[in-house]
Amino acid sequence: MLHRILSNDMPRSRWLAALLVLLVLALAFTPFIFPGVKALNVAAKVLVFIVLVASFDLLLGYTGIVSFAHTMFFGIGAYGIAVATTRMGPTWEALAVGLGGSLLLSFALALVVGLFSLRVRAIFFAMITLAVASAFLTLASQLHEITGGEDGLSFKVPEILSPSHEFSEEPFLGVSLDGRLLCYYLLFVTAVVLFLALLRIVNSPFGRVLQAIRENEFRAEAIGYRVVVYRTTSAILSALFACLAGAMLALWLRYNGPDTSLSFEIMMDVLLIVVIGGMGTMYGAIVGAALFLFAQSYLQDLLRVGSEAASALPWLSALLSPDRWLLWLGVLFVLSVYYFPTGVVGRLRSAAIAKQGGV
């Protein structure tokens, strides 16, 4: 049964399986295990980034396409929800219209970019997608009447998903049973379904062709596969899943602006997470997103504790200052790439294979 759910793509490493189970259980029970608003926000962001990074890995890790326009589709999904609910009110109909409209726009843009750009060499395609993403970011920043400009849009969600809506006056295991909790579990279920769908795609015959194209495009073309069609389809699927991830983010934050979903920093974070987790593995999206966002969210707190503990040594205390968290995040990334060149998932799988070979 588990083989079918995971599309016969098992972790193939006991340590990796244990790590994945631990992370999934931690995300499933975050509201009850880790009290506080910050922990819940970090967990929700991890769920969003799992979908976003997995969709990007479909493009980069499995098809070999480098695109910098991925956050554009992420932003389209977020803006679709924000604009629709702002204009139509906090209703389920508004969410459906916003999601449907953003998916259609993402499909059209991905198709156009794919057809016009996927015939060129990789570096030129990357530059084209960067230009398109930059143009879209500028457009979103200037269309103040529609997008709210630089200020973005704050909006309300259906009452049942609002923190003010309480299902019970009595807390359950110390946790308030309100709309915020329901919204979190809506994100959790959505992330699980979308991740399993992506796992099924990459392990289907279609996914095998994508990997063949990644390994040798000319050979795949020679044996009869229309490379442009497969690469364009991969780009469209990746864009649609990124759009859904953007809608998840907007639903959770009840706000969207250019810096929230369209900034180039998000694109860099996605690239870092793919490298940390393991390119072309899908499971790397779970591991990488959890590790990166945990470090990004709590590294300052850890450094603050370390700085106070080292107060007797001024130079060490200054080095561990919370203001230098980006420096230490960079150091952690360099170390992760050095010790895990194929990502955490790739390294754990290689170690498991080596152990089996030794036996």
pLDDT of 44 > 90? The answer is yes
- Regarding predicted confidence, which is higher, 167 or 55? 55
pLDDT of 287 > 90? The answer is yes
The architecture of the domain spanning 2-358 is Orthogonal Bundle (1.10)
CB-based contact 135:113 (threshold 8 Å):
no
CA distance 260 to 266: 8
Q: What is the mean pLDDT of residues 228-253?
A: 93
pLDDT of 338 > 90? The answer is no
Phi, psi of 255 (to 5 degrees): -160, 150
CA geometry: angle 251, 23, 252, nearest 5 deg = 10
Q: Express each pLDDT in 112-126 by its tens digit.
A: 887 776 666 667 778
In the chain, where does DSSP find H-type helix? 2-5, 14-28, 30-33, 37-60, 70-88, 92-117, 122-142, 144-147, 179-202, 205-215, 217-222, 227-253, 258-261, 264-277, 283-309, 314-319, 325-339, 343-358
pLDDT of 9 > 70? The answer is yes
Q: What is the mean pLDDT of residues 237-245?
A: 96
Q: What is the mean pLDDT of residues 239-257?
A: 94
Phi, psi of 132 (to 5 degrees): -65, -45
CA distance 346 to 328: 24
Phi, psi of 175 (to 5 degrees): -115, 135
Buried b (16+ CB within 10 A) or exposed e, 263-302: eeebbebbbbbbbbbbbbbbbbbbbbbbbbbebbbebbee
pLDDT of 358 > 60? The answer is no
Structure tokens at 270: 């996605």
Could you tell me the pTM of the whole model?
0.93
Structure tokens at 65: 């396409």
β-partners of residue 256 are 153
Place of tokens 């609002």: 162
pLDDT band at residue 80 under the 50/70/90 scheme: very high
Least confident piece of the model among 1-10, 261-270, 294-303: 1-10
Parse the chain into domains and list their residue ranges. Answer: 2-358
What DSSP string describes 91-105?
SHHHHHHHHHHHHHH
- Which pLDDT value is given to residue 12? 83
Name the percent of the chain lying above pLDDT 70.
97
Q: Is 312 exposed, middle or buried (0-12, 13-18, 19+ CB in 10 A)?
A: exposed
As a whole number, the mean pLDDT across the chain is 87
- Which pLDDT value is given to residue 201? 93
pLDDT of 236 > 60? The answer is yes
Beta 255-256 vs 153-154: how paired, if at all?
antiparallel
CA distance 81 to 144: 16
Q: What is the mean pLDDT of residues 16-20?
A: 92
pLDDT of 199 > 70? The answer is yes
Structure tokens at 344: 């955490």
pLDDT band at residue 328 under the 50/70/90 scheme: confident
pLDDT of 249 > 60? The answer is yes
Instruction: Choose from 7-11, 154-158, 194-198 the range with maximum mean pLDDT.
Output: 194-198
pLDDT of 81 > 90? The answer is yes
Structure tokens at 98: 């916003």
pLDDT of 97 > 60? The answer is yes
